[in-house]
């Protein structure tokens, strides 16, 4: 029921925030190679703010869609640069898909809309060495696993995490075409994309939470 879903969302947020905090310097190292060395700090600031925002009494009255919307809004107002609007804005806009609660169907819709909004805003195609390279295989695998292969959401999510991980590895040999890393042009080759990497960490924690 609604209360169980609320608890699950709060647990997921705690797990994601803890993981991002743990990986802060790793993400910053990745961003220092091909960016401005702030991706770890940006993501950590955002998710710490989310944990604080959801600590208040307001969160107790919220449905899944409004909770997720608040996550997005909080990220937008606490994270600047490329990541704030991409992670926060897309989460906020995709949250409407969860209006009827979280089901296999609405989670696919959420994932698809999230990806769509990232691409609407960032205009990155696959192969541009961005988070899109991690998201596209993850979202497509999740959708296919549920809609065509009729797998349970947990199995689908696990397959999506595997696909995401391959997407992250695929960013290494690419030449960046979007974001700050594109300023380096061919010198971005050989480095793993920070945004793709943090996207994988988030998905891993969603899976971890769902398994509990
Ligand atoms: P900034 O580049 O503004 O310092 P961050 O370091 O927090 O922001 O985030 C960088 C990440 O954002 C990149 O690793 C990449 O995955 C992602 N990114 C940057 N530009 C785009 C874009 N146009 N579309 C999709 N993702 C992007
Ligand atoms: Mg940066
Ligand atoms: Mg920056």
Please give the average per-residue pLDDT across 64-83, as a whole number: 96
Ligand 1 contacts CB of residue 75 (under 6 A): no
In testing the pocket of ligand 1, which one of 76, 83, 126, 127 has its CB within 8 Å of the most ligand atoms? 83
What's the 130 CA to ligand 1 centre distance in angstroms? 7
What confidence score (pLDDT) does residue 36 get? Answer: 97
What confidence score (pLDDT) does residue 59 get? Answer: 79
We report the CATH number of the domain holding residue 50 as 1.25.40.340
Percent of the residues in the chain that have a pLDDT greater than 90, as a whole number: 92
Q: What CA–CA distance (Å, rounded) separates 212 from 206?
A: 10
Q: What CA–CA distance (Å, rounded) separates 78 from 167?
A: 27
* Per-residue pLDDT tens digits for 98-135: 998 999 999 999 999 999 999 999 999 999 999 999 99
What's the 178 CA to ligand 3 centre distance in angstroms? 13
What confidence score (pLDDT) does residue 58 get? Answer: 76
Q: Answer yes or no: is the ipTM higher than 0.95.
A: yes
pTM (predicted TM-score): 0.97
Please give the average per-residue pLDDT across 173-182, as a whole number: 97
Please give the average per-residue pLDDT across 139-168, as a whole number: 98
State how many domains the chain has: 1
Domain holding 15, by residue range, is: 2-211
């Amino acid at each position: 029921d609604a209360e169980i879903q609320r608890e699950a969302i709060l647990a997921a947020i705690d797990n994601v925030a803890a993981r991002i905090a743990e990986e802060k310097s790793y993400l910053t190292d990745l961003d220092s190679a091909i960016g401005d060395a702030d991706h770890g700090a940006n993501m950590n600031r955002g998710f710490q703010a989310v944990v604080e925002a959801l600590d208040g009494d307001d969160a107790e009255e919220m449905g899944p869609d409004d909770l997720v919307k608040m996550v997005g809004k909080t990220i937008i107002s606490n994270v600047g640069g490329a990541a704030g609007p991409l992670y926060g804005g897309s989460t906020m806009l995709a949250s409407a898909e969860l209006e009827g609660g979280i089901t296999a169907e609405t989670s696919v819709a959420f994932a698809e809309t999230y990806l769509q909004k990232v691409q609407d805003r960032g205009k990155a195609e696959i192969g541009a060495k961005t988070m899109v390279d991690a998201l596209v295989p993850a979202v497509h695998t999740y959708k296919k696993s549920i809609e065509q292969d009729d797998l349970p959401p947990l199995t689908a999510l696990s397959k999506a995490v595997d696909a995401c991980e391959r997407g992250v590895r695929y960013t290494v040999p690419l030449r960046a075409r979007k974001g700050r890393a594109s300023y380096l042009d061919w010198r971005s080759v050989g480095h793993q994309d920070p945004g793709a990497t943090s996207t994988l960490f988030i998905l891993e924690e969603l899976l971890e939470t769902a398994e509990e």
